[in-house]
Structure 1
Amino acid sequence: MPFITCRTKNEVYDAEECSDVAICSSLAALGHNEDANVSVQDHIFLVHASLSSEASFTAFTLAGELPSCAFGFNSYGVGFTLNAVPPLPDEVVAGGIGRNFVSRDLLESTCLEVALQCVQLKNLAVGHSYNIFDICSRKIVNVETASRGRFSVKEIGATPFFHANMYRHLDISQVQDESSLHRHARAADLPKFTKDEILSLLGDTEDELYPIYMQGPVLHTLCTIWVDVDARKLTIYSGRPSSIERERSALVFDLTAQ
């Protein structure tokens, strides 16, 4: 297990920032910014694992953690990205299942239905937001979970869906995260129906205090991913995704050939 230094409440929240845009119409796609404290930049890995079932998964992983607290996909064509939803103290259940164990289990899902079963648990320690895609069923869903067996499932359709680090559709008391509020407001002003529009949004820095694409000094966008469900490709961009040079630094995975 990783060693965790003592941090204030705000510092813990600030370390868990991510932004997602999903759409499922003529374009079925998911874009995700993986944001974290700059201190982890040299401690990130892509883990590829073969399982005894002859399946395999690939997951973005921080040193010392289970895969994955960020995003991953498997040879069944099921994958996910994650958004932390920082809880109020009375929402945390001591002795419950930690969210990293849930996402590790999610990496072995054989289909969307199994993935939903993985995250809809009654004995969670704390909630999370899961953006799950299944290339075989051509579906993308956002699942928001909380302790004590609460969850809400939203199937993504033709209306673009933006998610930061606050609950969107599960009715729950929550932290009013200023960064999320700012990012939601900015995303609402931007078009997000095409690949270029979504990647431009994920690369946006217009809000100087709380930008969608983070460049320090404390928080940094480690990478951006683009999932094209119909093309069955997942692309990782190490640089700003709105840049015309983005494809030069892209790492592309075939979601059907692990």
Structure 2
Amino acid sequence: MESCSIRRETLEMFEVGPCENSYQMGFLIGQRFSQQIRSRIASDLILQNELLPFAQTPQSHSLLQALQHNNRTKFPTYWDELLGTAHGSGVPFLHILLINFRKEILAFIPKGVQSSNADPSEDCSDLLVVSESMAIAAHNEDANVALLGHTYLIKGILPNGLFFVAYTYAGELPSCAFGFNSLGLGHNLILKLKPGHMLRVPQAFTLNSVPPNQDEIVAGGIGRNFVSRDILEATSIDDALNRIRSSEVSVGHSYNLIETSTRRTLNVETASRKRVSVYEVQDENSISRQQRAAVLEKKSKEDFLSLLGDNEDRKYPIYMTGPLLHTLCTTVIDLDDQTVSIITGNPKKGHVSHVFSISQKSTSCHYNHSNVN
């Protein structure tokens, strides 16, 4: 109980904006979370032992220059936001650059010089449920051990008054994990509309890793962090898809897209060279976790949370506790209650650290700290 309380307190929320420009937003975020960003940089063994040494080699120069040029050209405002984060936190921009392009760089580090801390496959787990009795999306956010205690929530208020809330890794763009906004996009949102209600609701999304084959990676493409930052501001499902499709990514990613008016659910997987598919590609890890999920009872929200907390399969547990991968938190989007909840610790125990209202009656966002009884 005490450890859960400590973890809840470390997940801070910072409201920022509206700002004069993107650089200012990034600067204020970096300044506010300077301690967490510096701590993450110092303890991130992948950065210290893999990325930084590689960045000092002649082989890295063309790759880093291409990443900088292409992403700054495609997303100049988000690039300024990243630059502001570095300056606000007092961390060298190279360090911020490397952690934001971690996946786009690691593939080009010679295998013979990689250490045992090389980034494992980050496989988050998602449950998407629409039925007469419930409409929820639940997501385990799994990441490297270096991210424990190095995450926070950003509520970014845009110049037009609309906002997004994003679970953010220290020093990275919001959000490489999950988030929602007030723009009305029915993207990655499971919704049970009540009679007489019209569709203008906040949107939410969760993201999943798609580990690519070596020959599928394109050097110097658009970074996944920039794409996910961009869809935080998407205004419709078509807009979200266009933003995803228009980015010539270096490595792929997975997006759960759900059209609220028809309840059509798509798992969209992307790959380099602008390839997009609507079928799920499963590796051994995903198959194992799906098979385990199939034998567990799933009749209520509590059943689904228990499923996400399951760790019986020692090789591929759904809820991860190390040694390299950890489940940082679980988020539950409940469209009947119109809430987004964040659960710290094993979701079987139901320790809710944050609850956000996503009510259609208000464009504002609220959060509190509570425990599920």
TM bracket (short chain): 0.7 to 0.9
Q: How far did 1:80 drift?
A: 0.5
RMSD: 2.5
2:138 aligned with 1:47: no
Question: What amino acid is aligned across from residue 51 of structure 1 in structure 2?
Answer: L
Q: Which secondary structure state, in structure 2, belongs to the residue aligned with residue 13 of structure 1?
A: coil
Describe how 1:111-190 pairs up with structure 2 within 5 A.
Answer: 111-121=236-246, 123-132=248-257, 140-153=265-278, 167-168=281-282, 176=283, 178-190=284-296
Q: Following the alignment from structure 1 to structure 2, what is the Cα–Cα distance between the partners of residues 78 and 100?
A: 18
Q: Following the alignment from structure 2 to structure 1, what is the Cα–Cα distance between the partners of residues 265 and 136?
A: 8
Q: Deviations over 1:85-144 (max 9, x none)?
A: 111111111232111111000000122222222222362211110124566776653211
In structure 1, the gaps of 5 or more residues are: 155-165, 169-175
Partner in structure 1 of residue 306 of structure 2 = 200
Partner in structure 1 of residue 182 of structure 2 = 75
Q: How far did 1:52 drift?
A: 1.4
Change in 2 beyond 3 A, CA 1:189/1:96: same
Whose strand proportion is higher, 1 or 2? 1
Percent of residue pairs bearing the same amino acid type: 49
Q: How far did 1:33 drift?
A: 0.2
Partner in structure 2 of residue 227 of structure 1 = 333
Q: Following the alignment from structure 1 to structure 2, what is the Cα–Cα distance between the partners of residues 193 and 117?
A: 36
Partner in structure 2 of residue 213 of structure 1 = 319
Change in 2 beyond 3 A, CA 1:140/1:78: farther
Q: Following the alignment from structure 1 to structure 2, what is the Cα–Cα distance between the partners of residues 9 and 227?
A: 36
Matching residue within 339, 342, 354 for 1:236: 342
Partner in structure 2 of residue 106 of structure 1 = 231
Q: Following the alignment from structure 1 to structure 2, what is the Cα–Cα distance between the partners of residues 60 and 255?
A: 16
In structure 2, the gaps of 5 or more residues are: 1-95, 100-105, 184-201, 366-373
Question: What amino acid is aligned across from residue 246 of structure 2 in structure 1?
Answer: L
Matching residue within 349, 352, 355 for 1:252: 355
Q: Following the alignment from structure 1 to structure 2, what is the Cα–Cα distance between the partners of residues 216 and 128?
A: 23
Larger radius of gyration: 2
Are the counterparts in 2 of residues 19 and 32 from structure 1 also a CA contact under 8 Å?
A: yes
Question: What amino acid is aligned across from residue 304 of structure 2 in structure 1?
Answer: I
Q: Following the alignment from structure 2 to structure 1, what is the Cα–Cα distance between the partners of residues 182 and 288?
A: 36
Are the counterparts in 1 of residues 222 and 247 from structure 2 also a CA contact under 8 Å?
A: no
Q: How far did 1:230 drift?
A: 3.1
Q: How far did 1:67 drift?
A: 0.8
Question: What amino acid is aligned across from residue 125 of structure 1 in structure 2?
Answer: S
Question: What amino acid is aligned across from residue 138 of structure 2 in structure 1?
Answer: G
Change in 2 beyond 3 A, CA 1:25/1:19: same
Change in 2 beyond 3 A, CA 1:137/1:66: farther
Q: How far did 1:231 drift?
A: 2.5
Question: What amino acid is aligned across from residue 269 of structure 2 in structure 1?
Answer: E
Matching residue within 135, 159, 164 for 1:28: 135
Q: Which secondary structure state, in structure 2, belongs to the residue aligned with residue 125 of structure 1?
A: coil
Are the counterparts in 1 of residues 120 and 324 from structure 2 also a CA contact under 8 Å?
A: no
Are the counterparts in 2 of residues 46 and 61 from structure 1 also a CA contact under 8 Å?
A: yes
Q: How far did 1:21 drift?
A: 0.8
Q: Which secondary structure state, in structure 1, belongs to the residue aligned with residue 314 of structure 2?
A: coil
Q: How far did 1:146 drift?
A: 1.2
Whose helix proportion is higher, 1 or 2? 2
Q: Deviations over 1:149-169 (max 9, x none)?
A: 221236xxxxxxxxxxx725x
Partner in structure 1 of residue 46 of structure 2 = none
Change in 2 beyond 3 A, CA 1:230/1:141: farther
TM-score, normalised to structure 1, is 0.81
Are the counterparts in 2 of residues 128 and 145 from structure 1 also a CA contact under 8 Å?
A: yes
Q: Following the alignment from structure 1 to structure 2, what is the Cα–Cα distance between the partners of residues 180 and 130?
A: 15
TM-score, normalised to structure 2, is 0.58
* Structure with higher RCO (Cα < 8 A, 6+ apart): 1
Change in 2 beyond 3 A, CA 1:2/1:118: same
Q: How far did 1:184 drift?
A: 2.3
Partner in structure 2 of residue 66 of structure 1 = 173
2:215 aligned with 1:90: yes
Q: How many residues align?
A: 235
